[in-house]
Structure 1
Amino acid sequence: ISIGDHTLFGENVKLYDHNHCYEASPEFKVYPSKFNKAPIKIGSNCWLGSNVTVLKGVTIGDNCIIGAGCTIYQDIPPNTQVINKQDLTFNPL
Structure 2
Amino acid sequence: MTEREKMAAGLDYYDMDPELSAMRNRARKLLRDFNRSDFLEGDGPNPVLKELLGTMADGVFIEMPFHCAYGVNLHLGENVYFNAGCAILDCADVRVGANSMFGPAVQIYTATHAFDPVERASGRESAQPITIGHDVWVGGGAILCPGVTIGDNAVIGAGSVVTKDIPANVVAVGNPCRVVRELEIG
TM value normalised by structure 2: 0.41
Aligned residue number for residue 105 of structure 2: 12
More moved, 46-55 vs 32-41? 32-41
Q: Supply the AA of the counterpart residue of 2:173.
A: I
Partner of 2:121, secondary structure, is strand
Q: How many equivalent pairs are there?
A: 81
Is 1:43 the counterpart of 2:133? The answer is: yes
Change in Cα spacing, 1:35 to 1:5, as seen in structure 2 (3 Å) is: same
Aligned residue number for residue 57 of structure 1: 147
1:7 and 1:32 map into 2 onto residues whose CA distance is 37
Deviation (angstroms), 1:42:
0.3
Q: Supply the AA of the counterpart residue of 1:59.
A: T
Say which structure, 1 or 2, has more relative contact order (CA 8 Å, 6+ apart). 1
Match of 1:78 among 159, 164, 168: 168
Deviation (angstroms), 1:21:
2.4
Over aligned residues, Cα RMSD in angstroms? 1.5
Change in Cα spacing, 1:34 to 1:84, as seen in structure 2 (3 Å) is: same
Deviation (angstroms), 1:33:
2.0
TM value normalised by structure 1: 0.80
Deviation (angstroms), 1:84:
2.5
More moved, 49-58 vs 28-37? 28-37
Q: Which runs of 5+ in 2 are unaligned?
A: 1-93, 176-186
Identity of aligned residues (%): 33
Deviations 1:5-51 (A, max 9, x none): 0000000000000112242xxxx432362111110000000100000
Aligned residue number for residue 91 of structure 1: none
Which structure is higher in strand share? Answer: 1
